[in-house]
Each structure stands twice: as structure tokens, then as C-alpha cells.
């Protein structure tokens, strides 16, 4: 376990404390899990606008030709055809095809890239990148200098355009640099909630100023990791450490559409062999028949009690007013009957496999 | 934190209100606040027996599940069915509308294992100091 002393703080730690946020350790950071309450913050995001502190996430800058730099081999998704000022979600794999991290690549210029990674894996990711980039690449880890706020919700564009003019032009998974609060910085139309939203990058030391500026708009409230997890789970977005890790193949995690088998990438051979042979597990999205919710590490069973897998994420869904979950089950498990159970030896709860996402009415593309 | 004077408390943050031979059981303001939005309550069955400290019910919040232990031994004579459709009653009214079960108390002597309001307030103060 990490001791209290070694936990890192974002530049907004005092802001969270002043708002009486509940602070928890998360991936080596002290982060706010909730302020007013998870469901209130969830509703705020679905109906208005929330601001999330995501300063813990990692950012790398890479300069160099897509091929010659080695970057194209490091990520498993297609990036050479990315138009400038667009972002693309993908994964970075080890030789065995396990997921080192999921990430978003930003194409800043023809030969300039920004890679945004998870906070908990940032150092491991940087090490992996540096060891596989060629001499033709210039790598800079700007994580400790880069603050980030996620502004998410159907009214997020209206809120931000009041001080970031031009932001209304951004399309889904597009980004640009904008001048605001005396700085020139990247804003992308991306997020993790299923709502219209933006990720705003800002100098670490000035992030507090941006936070206060956003919160000065009465339509905005702060939201924590609890609401964030609930929102992403309703959208069936993977969370690294739960749906994804170095022992889980992206094919098992349902991410095949983010893999470009037509190019060479680290883990290509292992993944292709797996694709031909079939992966041992498959992902399942399911809804509880009651308000009782599945939990991380609950088991999944067939109606006859036979164990077929594990729950990777679970929560109560405010949109559906029942429990929802994601799990990994054995490939050969036949769930076409439409009924499974989740729980433990002591108690098992009935559930039904479901299509993704659980939440379909988001403002994501509005 | 609201800690009514007329209740007895456990170190696990349950309360019991004794009315003659019966006791009404619920969770404290501290517990409901720590759990956050309660989304599901698994109620005991009427007729079920519990020893002091046995699991009586469980409550789930958005992100966690917690067991509720019986403050005293007894037989469950009534449960709060309203919690099935509106578990948030516990958040809104943990000492009144959000009660969980009524038990027929088996042994009044067990009262001595519980805290009065003053002692429970001291426990909460010591927990706050740790934070």
C-alpha cells in the first residue's frame, strides 16, 4: 500500500478541501470522490454541466514522423491517417497482446503528437514509450506541468464559449488551441461521460484560476470520481485496471474496432494468433433485475449456478434505476438464454445480458 | 452530526430505540452520510432471529455495499417495506422514516454493551480526529 506521504496532489487539492469533498486515494493520487453526493453530481452532469479535476492524467509530447519515430508501432490503432487537430482513442500493448494502457492520441501537426494516458500508469507508460521510440523521435513528458479539467454536460459548450471563443466549432473528437485567461492551450471535444463535453488543458500552476472561472458560472458544479465512474459505466467505457490490464486482451475487452491489424504494432503477432484461435474470455454487459448492484470481483454464473466469469465493474445506474455491470466470462459460456446471475457463494442475483451502452440519450454528439 | 438522546448506539453506527419489549433499528446519521446515496436495502425477513452483532440487513450505495448488524438479539417482527422502493429514505430521515426493522428484544441485559448518545458522540469525535 502507498502511504499517505507518497500520495500526489493536484493543484486543486485545496479547492476540493474547501468544498468539503470526500477525498480518497486513487492510483497514487488524493482525489475527490464526491462533493454534494454521487447521484446529485451525476444528475448535474446529465442535465447541466459538471467540472472534473483530471490533472492526475498523464500527457506526453512526441515529435517525429509517425513511422520513423516508432510511435506507429507503439499504439495498436491507426494513426497515420489522422487529420490534423483530431483525437483518436486506442491502446498500447505488450508483446503478449495485453493492454499496457488505453490512451488518446492528439495530432497536433503532421509530425507532432500529444498522447494522453491514465494517471496511475503514467510512469510505466512513459518508460515503455521511451524504450520503444527511435532516435528519430523527441519525447517530452509534460504531465507534471499540465493541468486538465473535464467540463462535461449538455450545457458545457454554452458555458465555455463565454470565455473560450471559437470553441463551438469543435466537432466530436476534434481539438484546437485557444487563447483564454492569458494562455494559449488545447481544448478537445472529448470526455468520459456520454454527454457533450470538453477536456481543457492548462498550465499546472494556473489550473486553479481556470477551475474558479468555470465554477463562477452558476450552471456548473464540481463532480468527483464517483459520479465519473457511474457516468462512464452507463456508457460502457472501459476503465484501466478493471476492464483492461496487462493480462486482458483488447479482443476480450471488446476493443477490436480500435485495433489496426493492417499495420505492424507491438503485440501484433500475439493478438493475430489469438484472433484466429479465439480468445478465452468475452466481455458481457448486463443489468440487474433489481436495484441491487453488481460489484467489482463479484462472480458471474449461469442460471444453473455454474461459474463462468467475474464482474470487472458494477454500479447502481441512476438512468435505469437498477444495478448495471460489465464482466469477463468464458468464451464458450452460452448466455443466449438471456439470463445470468451475479454475486458470490452466499447470494446470487438475477441479471440479463444487455447491449451497450446502457445509457442512450446522451448529448455526446449534439 | 445528529445524535438523538433517546437512542442506544453500536460502534458500527447502528441505533436502537427501545419501547417496552421491542426495539426499532436503523443506521445513524454518520453512517448514512459516510455511505452516500443509498440505492438498495436488503431487509431481513419477518420471523428471522438474530443474535447481538449478527448481520441483520445490508445496504448498498452507488459504489459500495455494507452489512448492518443487529444491536441486540431478537426476533424480527416488522420491516420497513418502504425502503424497497425508496431506499433514499435512510439518507433523508435515518432516525425516523428510514428505520430498517423492529425486533422483539430477547435479552434486555445486552443494553450494557451499547453506547448512550453521549458516548456515541465521543466516538464520532474521536473518528473525526483521526480524519
In angstroms, how far is the first alpha carbon of chain B from the final one? 15
Min CA distance, B119 vs chain A (Å)? Answer: 26
Look at the block and give the residue holding cell 499496457: A100
β-bridge partners, B9 = B15, B115
Q: What is the pLDDT of residue A5?
A: 56
All residues of chain B having their beta carbon less than 8 Å from the beta carbon of residue A316 are 39-40, 60-62
3-state secondary structure of A15: helix
Q: What integer pLDDT is reported at residue A1 of this predicted model? A: 47
What range defines the domain where residue B81 resides?
A: 8-130
Domain for residue B111, yes or no? Answer: yes
Q: Quickly state the pLDDT bin for A14 (edges 50, 70, 90).
A: very high
pLDDT over 90 (residue A252): yes
Is pLDDT at A2 greater than 90 in this prediction? no
Domain assignment of residue B114, yes or no: yes
Dihedral angle of Cα A165, A168, A169, A170, to the nearest 10 degrees: 110
Interval A247-260 mean pLDDT: 97
Strands B74-79 and B55-61: unpaired
Give the number of domains in chain B.
Answer: 1
Which helix or strand (DSSP H or E) is residue B65 part of? Answer: strand B65-69
At B131 the pLDDT is 61
pLDDT tens readout for residues A25-42 = 999 999 999 999 999 999
CB pair distance less than 8 Å for A316 and B36: no
Nine-digit cell string for A63: 515529435
The pLDDT tens digits for A66-80 are 999 999 999 999 999
CA distance B76 to B105: 9
Chain segment A171-186, per-residue pLDDT in tens: 999 999 999 999 999 9
Q: Alpha-carbon distance B2 to B96, whole Å? A: 12
Residue B22 has pLDDT above 60, yes or no: yes
Q: Is residue B91 part of a domain?
A: yes
Q: Residue B66 falls within a domain, yes or no?
A: yes
Q: Please name the member of A38, A291, A292 whose beta carbon is closest to the beta carbon of B63.
A: A38
Query: A228 near A26, Cβ under 8 Å?
Result: no
C-alpha cell at A65: 514522423
Distance to chain A for B111, nearest Cα, Å:
31
Burial zone of A263 (CB within 10 Å; 0-12 exposed, 13-18 middle, 19+ buried): middle
Q: How many angstroms separate the CA of residue B120 from the nearest CA in chain A?
A: 22
Structure confidence by residue, pLDDT tens digits, B42-86: 999 999 999 999 999 999 999 888 999 999 999 999 999 999 999
For range A117-145, the mean pLDDT: 97
Q: How far out from the chain centre does Cα A24 lie?
A: 18
pLDDT value of position B128: 83
In a domain, B1, yes or no: no
pLDDT of residue B63: 80
Nearest to A172 by CA among A193, A197, A152, A153: A197
User: Distance between CA atoms of A69 and A186, rounded to whole angstroms?
Assistant: 23
Inter-chain residue contact B65 with A323, CB threshold 8 Å: no
User: A34 to chain B: which residues are within 8 Å by CB?
Assistant: 36
Nearest in space to B59 (alpha carbons), one of B12, B111, B123: B12
Query: B129 pLDDT band (50/70/90 cuts)?
Result: confident
So where are chain A's domains?
4-54+145-234, 280-366
CATH code of the domain covering residue B29: 2.40.50.100
d(CA A291, CA A178): 44
Region A322-335 average pLDDT: 96
* Facing A34 at nearest CB: one of B36, B39, B60: B36
Tens digit of each residue's pLDDT (9 = 90 or more) over A274-296: 999 999 999 999 999 999 999 99
Give the DSSP letter of residue B105: E
pLDDT tens digits for A89-126? 999 999 999 999 999 999 999 999 999 999 999 999 99
The CA distance from B59 to the nearest CA of chain A, in Å, is: 9
pLDDT of residue A240: 97
Measuring CA to CA, how many Å separate A142 from each of A108, A125, A146, B116? 15, 13, 6, 55
Residue B3 lies in a domain: no
CB-nearest partner of B37 from A33, A37, A290: A37
Q: Name the helix (H) or strand (E) containing A80.
A: none
For B79-121, what is each residue's pLDDT tens digit? Answer: 999 999 999 999 999 999 999 999 999 999 999 999 999 999 9
Listed residue (A58, A357, A323) closest to A232, CA to CA: A357
Cβ neighbours, 10 Å, residue A289? 14
Whether residue A237 is predicted with pLDDT greater than 60 in this model: the reply is yes
Instruction: Give the pTM.
Output: 0.93
Mutate one of B34, B37, B91 to test the A interface: name it (highest A CB count within 10 A). Answer: B37
Out of 3.90.550.10, 3.40.1010.10, 3.40.50.300, 3.30.1360.120, which CATH number does the structure's domain A4-54+145-234 have?
3.30.1360.120
pLDDT score at A125: 98
- Share the mean pLDDT of chain A: 96
Domain A280-366: top CATH class: mainly beta
Asked if A161 and A169 count as a contact pair (C-beta separation under 8 A), the reply is no
Proportion of chain B above pLDDT 90, given as a percent: 94
Which phi and psi angles does B22 have, rounded to 5°? Answer: -110, 160
Q: How far is it, in rounded angstroms, from Cα A363 to Cα A235? A: 12
Alpha-carbon distances, residue B28 vs B31, B53, B124 (angstroms)? 5, 16, 11
A3 pLDDT higher than 80: no
Query: Would you state the torsion angle of the CA atoms of residues A259, A263, A267, A269, taken in this order, to the nearest 10 degrees?
Result: 110
Cβ of A295 and B65 within 8 Å?
yes
- What is the b/e burial string over A167-194, where b = at least 16 CB atoms within 10 angstroms of the residue's CB? beebeeebbeebebeeeebbbbbbbbbb
Q: Interior CA angle at A269 toward A263 and A274, to 5°?
A: 115
**Percentage above 70 pLDDT, chain A:** 99
Amino acid at each position: 500500500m502507498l502511504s499517505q506521504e507518497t500520495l500526489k496532489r493536484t493543484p486543486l487539492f485545496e479547492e476540493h478541501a474547501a468544498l468539503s469533498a470526500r477525498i480518497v486515494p486513487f492510483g497514487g493520487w488524493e482525489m475527490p470522490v464526491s462533493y454534494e453526493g454521487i447521484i446529485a453530481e451525476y444528475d448535474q452532469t446529465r442535465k447541466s454541466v459538471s467540472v472534473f479535476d483530471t490533472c492526475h492524467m498523464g500527457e506526453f509530447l512526441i515529435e517525429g514522423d509517425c513511422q520513423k519515430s516508432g510511435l506507429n508501432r507503439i499504439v495498436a490503432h491507426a494513426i497515420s491517417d489522422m487529420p490534423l487537430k483530431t483525437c483518436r482513442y486506442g491502446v498500447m500493448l505488450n508483446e503478449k497482446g495485453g493492454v499496457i494502457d488505453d490512451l488518446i492520441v492528439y495530432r497536433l501537426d503532421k509530425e507532432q503528437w500529444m498522447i494522453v494516458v491514465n494517471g496511475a500508469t503514467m510512469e510505466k507508460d512513459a518508460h515503455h514509450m521511451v524504450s520503444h521510440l527511435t532516435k528519430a523521435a523527441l519525447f517530452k513528458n509534460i504531465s507534471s506541468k499540465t493541468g486538465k479539467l473535464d467540463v462535461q454536460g449538455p450545457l458545457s459548450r454554452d458555458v465555455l464559449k463565454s470565455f473560450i471563443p471559437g470553441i463551438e466549432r469543435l466537432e466530436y473528437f476534434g481539438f484546437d488551441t485557444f487563447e483564454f485567461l492569458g494562455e494559449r492551450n488545447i481544448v478537445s471535444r472529448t470526455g468520459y461521460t456520454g454527454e457533450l463535453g470538453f477536456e481543457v488543458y492548462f498550465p499546472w500552476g494556473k489550473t486553479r484560476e481556470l477551475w474558479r472561472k468555470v465554477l463562477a458560472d452558476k450552471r456548473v458544479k464540481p463532480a468527483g470520481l464517483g459520479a465519473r465512474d457511474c457516468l462512464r459505466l452507463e456508457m460502457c467505457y472501459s476503465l484501466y485496471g478493471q476492464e483492461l490490464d496487462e493480462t486482458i486482451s483488447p479482443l476480450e475487452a471488446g476493443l477490436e474496432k480500435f485495433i489496426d491489424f493492417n499495420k505492424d504494432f507491438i503485440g501484433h503477432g500475439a493478438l493475430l494468433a489469438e484472433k484466429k484461435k479465439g480468445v478465452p474470455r468475452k466481455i458481457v454487459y448486463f443489468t440487474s433485475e433489481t436495484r441491487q448492484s453488481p460489484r467489482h470481483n463479484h462472480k458471474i454464473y449461469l442460471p444453473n449456478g455454474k461459474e463462468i466469469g467475474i464482474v470487472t465493474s458494477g454500479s447502481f445506474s441512476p438512468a435505469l434505476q437498477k444495478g448495471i455491470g460489465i464482466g469477463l466470462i468464458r468464451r464458450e459460456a452460452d448466455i443466449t438464454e438471456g439470463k445470468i446471475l451475479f454475486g458470490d457463494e452466499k447470494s446470487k442475483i438475477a441479471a440479463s445480458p444487455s447491449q451497450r451502452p446502457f445509457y442512450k440519450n446522451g448529448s455526446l454528439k449534439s | 452530526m445528529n445524535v438523538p438522546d433517546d437512542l442506544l448506539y453500536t460502534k458500527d453506527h447502528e441505533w436502537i430505540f427501545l419501547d417496552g419489549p421491542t426495539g426499532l433499528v436503523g443506521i445513524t446519521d454518520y453512517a448514512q452520510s459516510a455511505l452516500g446515496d443509498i440505492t438498495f436495502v436488503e431487509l431481513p425477513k419477518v420471523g428471522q432471529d438474530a443474535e447481538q452483532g449478527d448481520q441483520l440487513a445490508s445496504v448498498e450505495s452507488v459504489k459500495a455495499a455494507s452489512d448492518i448488524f443487529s444491536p441486540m438479539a431478537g426476533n424480527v417482527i416488522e420491516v420497513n417495506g418502504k425502503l424497497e422502493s425508496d431506499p433514499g429514505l435512510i439518507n433523508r430521515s435515518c432516525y425516523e422514516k428510514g428505520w430498517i426493522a423492529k425486533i422483539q428484544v430477547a435479552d434486555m441485559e445486552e443494553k450494557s454493551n451499547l453506547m448512550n448518545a453521549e458516548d456515541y458522540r465521543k466516538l464520532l469525535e474521536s473518528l473525526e480526529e483521526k480524519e
